[in-house]
Amino acid sequence: MTDSTNNIDFEILISTMNRDSLAFLDQMFIHESYENLHLLIVNQTNESQLLVSNNSNVRVINSFDKGLSNSRNLAIRNAIGTLCLIADDDVVYTKDLKRQIVSSFQNQRECDIITFKMIDSLGVDFKSYPNTFTEHTKKTLQQVNSVVIAFKRHSIKSKNIYFNTLFGLGAEFQTAEEYIFLRDALSAGLKSCFQPKIILKHADYSSGKNHTSDAVIYARAAFFYKYSGVLGYLRLIKHVVVVCSRANFSSVQILKKIRVGLKGIRQFKRLKTL
């Protein structure tokens, strides 16, 4: 990894796996060349498949660790941009990405974190977004996807805000890592805001959208217990009944899903004490 400067205004922190070429960047930046941007790529891989960059604006860290939250944390620790954007390798950025983000922070100087809009492959809003600039609350943070999170690096690092490595793809509980990250920032006194500007396109499927899968229910149950304690059991039951009823699950299937959630809570309680 080469570090050409420690004084850049904007940097994109990309998490990827098993890459040995920078060719994947061409699909991410089809509307604007990445040659004019600063990128930090964390490539989770093995010693036989390393990624190398000969571009001065593209830094690479080959990591032999696993888990998306570990990848994000490694990127944050090594970031050098004044402003940073969290990224995955399967997004497609809009034109003028940097200008949109930098100007948003310039116009809203009180914000430590700003989240943006994303659209799906059909051009439809990925979530039901507000129409105006707003300050985030605990409730609105639940609607945020990690790849639309931009932040002031100094604010995040000064408060020691990192992703919880128990949560996220490749971790024990494979969802909710972005909410926990943002909730920790909010609890630390950082101000998070939403800017209704589209910055990227993402395929309409998301692993967290499969609400009735065992993996998501298992993780969601741990999330409920983390923030609600014993009331997390009630939140689990309510959640499973609602999502499984919408999917026309039988009573027997619903009970099985509740048992999956209870297992997730037991495992979270065990891991929390280690």
pTM (two decimals): 0.93
Superfamily, domain 8-205: Spore Coat Polysaccharide Biosynthesis Protein SpsA; Chain A (3.90.550.10)
Rounded to 5°, the CA angle 263-268-273 comes to 135
Q: Which pLDDT belongs to residue 3?
A: 43
Q: Which pLDDT belongs to residue 202?
A: 92
The three-state secondary structure class of 272 is helix
- Using alpha carbons, select from 148, 121, 123 the residue that is nearest to residue 27: 121
DSSP 121: T
DSSP 169: T
DSSP string, 171-196: SSB-S-HHHHHHHHHHHTT--EEEEE
- Using alpha carbons, select from 202, 178, 179, 207 the residue that is nearest to residue 125: 202
Give, for 115, the enclosing helix (H) or strand (E): strand 113-119
Q: How far apart are CA 197 and CA 174, in angstroms?
A: 28
Q: How far apart are CA 64 and CA 47, in angstroms?
A: 8
pLDDT tens for each residue of the chain, 274 residues long: 444 445 689 999 999 999 999 999 999 999 989 999 999 999 999 999 999 999 999 999 999 999 999 999 999 999 999 999 999 999 999 999 999 999 999 999 999 999 999 999 899 999 999 999 999 999 999 999 999 999 999 999 999 999 999 999 999 999 999 999 999 999 999 999 999 999 999 987 555 568 899 999 999 999 999 999 999 999 999 999 999 999 999 999 999 999 999 999 999 999 987 6
